[in-house]
Structure 1
Amino acid sequence: MHPLVRLVGVVALLGVLGGLCVHYDAVAPTHSPYPETDDLATDYDAHVGERTLLFGTVQRFEPDADRATIRVDSGEGAFEMTVHGFTERVRPGGFVQAYGTLREGRTIDASAVAVVNPAGGSAGYKYAVSAVGALLVLALFFRHWRVDRASLTFEVRADEWEVGRDG
């Protein structure tokens, strides 16, 4: 296949992928059965009694009262919610998700709480481990394969081919 035809095909596929991303973003609010955080920030009282799934950063944790105060970020600005039924141990700065029923006074009666990051510094660790893993995968791939610039393809390295034929 001619390299120019291959390049046009790659550009076309990337264009389709970009279009799908734009489409997904345009219809994203219809994917969730729960109120959006922007709706809760602007008109909380209209959603009292509904089930919701919120993500937030722990501001205060009161283990003896089984509750925590979380900061929820939205496009309309951040707001605080009190989560009752909070049985997980987490420090301020940790990131959690809470599922439950919205109540008066920006309160949620949680039926489930999951700690995503127990402390604020966990995100950097996750990114570092992911980067190291990606580098190891790339190193392993290019140890066994090489790029043929003339045909814009990957080929098995010659030494790998020889070992495979002899074995």
Structure 2
Amino acid sequence: MTRLRLLLAGILLAALCGLCVEAGLPDDERSNQPDGKTLATNYDSYVGEKILVFGTITEQTNTALHIRVEGDGVSVPLHVHAVEQTVESGSVVQVYGILRSDQVFSAERIVVVNAGEFTEQYKYGVSLVGVFVFLIAFFREWRMDIESSLL
């Protein structure tokens, strides 16, 4: 049983180290997911490319969504075409598709991340409840064995 635990701990530590290495990579090397600052400075380099952007909906018309992509205090407006769903203004969305010139984005897929005003607070609230339940269960069941830990 001890060997199994050591093996499992080694695997988990290796996975953690791998995540730390991945988190240390610059954003450009991770994926084709530009933020507002990157689009503002290098927009032309992404034209014609399939990219994924996160944005806040500012307006919706019959044919397009108008979103604002932000990053490092810079905001870039995009007009997303090929929209078949109705989304509330102020919602946060992920949009995957081809970036065109003149701030136009041909969407292949749109996913609503936060559908409304209180969605993000709800997510944090549920997460806090989960943390408290975990901590209560952990400290109810876990007991420190001082005698065996001193050996």
TM-score strictly above 0.5: yes
5+ residue gaps, structure 2: 1-12
Kept in 1, the 8 Å contact 2:34–2:52? The answer is: no
Kept in 1, the 8 Å contact 2:80–2:106? The answer is: yes
Match of 1:36 in 2: 34
The separation in 1 between residues aligned to 2:45 and 2:76, in whole angstroms, is 16
Residue deviations 1:136-164, cap 9 Å, x none? 111112222223467769xxxxxxxxxxx
Task: In structure 2, give the amino acid aligned to 1:57.
Answer: T
Aligned length: 135
Which deviates more, 131-140 or 43-52?
Answer: 43-52
Match of 2:132 in 1: 135
Which deviates more, 132-141 or 93-102?
Answer: 132-141
1:97–1:23 CA distance, 2 compared to 1 (3 A):
closer
Match of 2:142 in 1: 145
In angstroms, what is the RMSD of aligned CA positions? 2.6
Give the TM-score normalised by structure 2. Answer: 0.76
2:71 partner SS: coil
Match of 1:5 in 2: none
Identity of aligned residues (%): 37
Give the TM-score normalised by structure 1. Answer: 0.69
Kept in 1, the 8 Å contact 2:90–2:117? The answer is: yes
Q: Which runs of 4+ in 1 moved over 4 A?
A: 148-153
Match of 2:9 in 1: none
What's the CA shift for 1:70? 0.7
Kept in 2, the 8 Å contact 1:82–1:108? The answer is: yes
